C-alpha cells in the first residue's frame, strides 16, 4: 500500500472521517448530546483547530512547506513553538477535532473515527515524512526525534 504514501492530504482524510462519523451516527443512532457534552465537543473541535492552525502558522513563518504531500520541499527543520512538544501538532489537532465530533454526536463508539484517522496518518503520512526528514536533515532530525514525541 506504499502507493498511498503522501497521496491524500490529511485534511481531506479528516473530512472523510467526519463524514463517515456523521453517516454512522445518522444511520445507527438518534441520540442527542447532553448540553455539557455538546459544549465539550465544540471546545475540543475549537482546540483541535487552533492546535492544527498554530502548527501550520509556525511552518509558514519559518518559510518551509506546510504541504504534507510535498514534504521533500522542506527547507528547514522546525523545532520551535508547538514543535518543541510534539512532532505533529497539525495531525494531533485533527485527532482532537475528531474526538470533539464524537462528543458532539454523543456516541462513544464513534471514537473509532479518530483512531482510524490516527492509524491511517501514522502509516501513510507520518512514517514516510519521517523517512524524508531523516534523509534531508540527518543527525539533527534524529536528535529531534529522540527529544520530542511523535504525538504527545
Give the whole-number percent of the chain exceeding pLDDT 90. 76
Could you tell me the residue range of the domain that residue 134 belongs to? 38-147
Within a domain: 62:
yes
- Within a domain: 6: no
Number of domains the chain contains: 1
CA distance 24 to 103: 14
For residues 89 and 84, what is the distance between their CA atoms, to the nearest angstrom? 10
Full-model pTM: 0.91
For 25-42, the pLDDT digits (tens) are 888 876 666 888 889 999
Query: What per-residue string of b and e applies to 123-143 under the rule 16 or more CB within 10 Å gives b?
Result: ebbbebbbebbeebeeeebee
Taking 90 as the threshold, does the pLDDT of residue 2 lie above it? no
Q: Is residue 128 part of a domain?
A: yes
Specify if 136 maps to a domain.
Answer: yes
In a domain, 93, yes or no: yes
Cα–Cα distances (Å) from 50 to 44, 62, 114, in that order, read 10, 18, 17
Residue 19: pLDDT band (50, 70, 90) is: very high
30 assigned to some structural domain: no
Q: Report in angstroms the alpha-carbon separations of 130 from 25, 85, 105.
A: 35, 16, 34
Residue 137 has pLDDT above 70, yes or no: yes
**pLDDT number for residue 69:** 85
In a domain, 55, yes or no: yes
pLDDT tens per residue across span 104-113: 988 889 999 9
Best CA proximity match to 15, nearest among 110, 128, 97, 111: 97
* Residue 97 domain-assigned (yes or no): yes
Mean pLDDT of 39-50: 97
Amino acid at each position: 500500500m506504499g502507493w498511498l504514501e503522501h497521496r491524500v492530504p490529511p485534511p481531506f482524510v479528516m473530512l472523510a472521517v467526519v463524514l463517515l462519523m456523521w453517516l454512522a451516527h445518522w444511520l445507527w443512532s438518534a441520540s442527542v448530546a447532553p448540553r455539557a457534552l455538546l459544549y465539550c465537543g465544540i471546545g475540543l473541535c475549537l482546540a483541535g483547530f487552533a492546535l492544527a492552525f498554530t502548527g501550520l502558522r509556525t511552518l509558514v513563518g519559518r518559510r518551509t512547506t506546510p504541504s504534507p504531500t510535498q514534504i521533500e520541499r522542506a527547507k528547514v527543520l522546525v523545532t520551535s513553538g508547538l514543535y518543541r512538544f510534539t512532532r505533529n501538532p497539525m495531525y494531533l489537532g485533527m485527532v482532537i477535532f475528531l474526538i470533539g465530533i464524537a462528543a458532539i454526536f454523543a456516541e462513544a463508539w464513534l471514537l473509532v473515527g479518530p483512531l482510524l484517522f490516527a492509524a491511517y496518518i501514522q502509516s501513510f503520512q507520518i512514517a514516510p515524512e519521517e523517512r524524508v526528514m531523516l534523509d534531508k536533515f540527518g543527525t539533527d532530525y534524529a536528535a529531534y526525534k529522540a527529544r520530542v514525541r511523535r504525538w504527545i
